[in-house]
Structure formats: structure tokens, C-alpha cells
Chain A
Amino acid sequence: KAGVTQTPRYLIKTRGQQVTLSCSPISGHRSVSWYQQTPGQGLQFLFEYFSETQRNKGNFPGRFSGRQFSNSRSEMNVSTLELGDSALYLCASSLRLSSTDTQYFGPGTRLTVL
């Protein structure tokens, strides 16, 4: 079974631009979560989607948004990029929306904002 894939792997943008990141979960997984990883803050939860609906949201500004499609693939969008948005963005999928389910992580998209 293929693992979680994320595209693109690397992105360089400038302040004020917007960006869209994509995540394809493991086949059969219906839950997709997004995290922001930075050296100082560690992993911060962004949001979780299940069956095309956002089920959980972290403490991030409205510039961060996401969606999930009927095939469980997910995208996240960041508008009006700031320097502080530079980070590794990780996507994780799991079978169900459950706190006991193992989350399987993709390799991440490294976003650099100049």
C-alpha cells in the first residue's frame, strides 16, 4: 500500500502570496490532519477533516484553511503569507476519526517565505 504523499515537497514564496499544499492519504483512510512543524514550536495542530467536513481546528488565524474531497484527498491553503509561516507542513491520515487511531504521516512540504 502506498503511504501518505504530499506535493510539492519544497516551495519558496514571497510575503503576501498565497500557497496551496496537497495531501493524498493512504487508500481507505478517511481522516486527514494537518500540522505545522517549526524548530521552536514543534508540531502544532492545524485542522482535521473527515468525510469532507472539518471536525477539529487548531489555534491558527483564518489565513489558514483547508478542504477535503470525496476521494479523501486534502488541500490546505495559506493566504497572505508571512515570514513566520515558513515551516514544514505535515499531513497525516488515519482510518477513522478517533483519538486511538494511529496517524500515518507524509514526508511533509517545506515552505520557505522570503
Chain B
Amino acid sequence: AQSVTQLDSQVPVFEEAPVELRCNYSSSVSVYLFWYVQYPNQGLQLLLKYLSGSTLVKSINGFEAEFNKSQTSFHLRKPSVHISDTAEYFCAVSDRDTDKLIFGTGTRLQVFP
């Protein structure tokens, strides 16, 4: 069964600094990869996803993630964070066999002024 590991439960960073949120999954066979963001007291929103094609995917608010098949990773990066990026970020994987979306335990990004 698929599993997702987000090694960092919390990532504190100062505003305008770069950030990387790490995500590893258990198997690279026919997977689709997602990053969701959850702002306080809200549901999850899709940030970006990798289905096929270019291994680098980008969101409209400056985040990007790269699918690395050999390392079974899908790390999320942003070159310069803003206070408004403070939220919890969830990596998720689904596969063609089960259609289930399996989430990691989340990484809380805290941006300080």
C-alpha cells in the first residue's frame, strides 16, 4: 500500500527566506502527486499536482515541486516566503489501482516577520 512521509512536522522561517517542505512516498509505480494547503479554520485547497509530463510543476502563488522518480520524492519549494504562506501543507499520493488519495501527516509552515 502507498504511504507518504513528511519528515518535518514544523518548519519555522523568516519572511523572504527560501523554504523547502519535504515529501517522500513509498512507490513510484503509476502514481499521481499532490500538494494541498490548509489555512487556519479552513478545508484543504489544492496547491499543485503532478500527473505526467514535465517533472517540475508550479502554482500560481510562487510554489513549485519536482517529481523525482529515483528518490521517490516530491519536495515543495518557494524561493521567498510571505507571512500569508503560514499554513499547514499536506503532500498526497494516489495510484491508478486504488484511486485512494493518501495523505502525509502535514508540515506546519510558520513564517515570521
Contacts and interface: CB of A to CB of B under 8 A. Distances in A.
A108 B95 contact: no
Interface residues of A, number: 25
B90 A107 contact: no
Interface in A26-57: 33, 35, 41-45, 48, 55-56
Contact of A33 (B36, B42, B46, B101): B101
Residue picked from A92, A97, A99, A102, most chain B C-beta under 10 Å: A99
A41 B101 contact: no
Interface in B58-113: 90, 94-96, 98-106
A43 B90 contact: yes
Residue picked from A4, A102, A103, most chain B C-beta under 10 Å: A103
Interface of A: 4, 33, 35, 41-45, 48, 55-56, 58, 90, 92, 97-100, 102-108
12 contacts: A42-B106, A43-B103, A48-B99, A92-B44, A99-B101, A100-B32, A102-B46, A103-B101, A105-B43, A105-B45, A106-B43, A107-B41
Given A98-B99, A105-B44, 8 more contacts: A35-B103, A48-B99, A48-B100, A56-B99, A92-B43, A100-B94, A104-B46, A107-B42
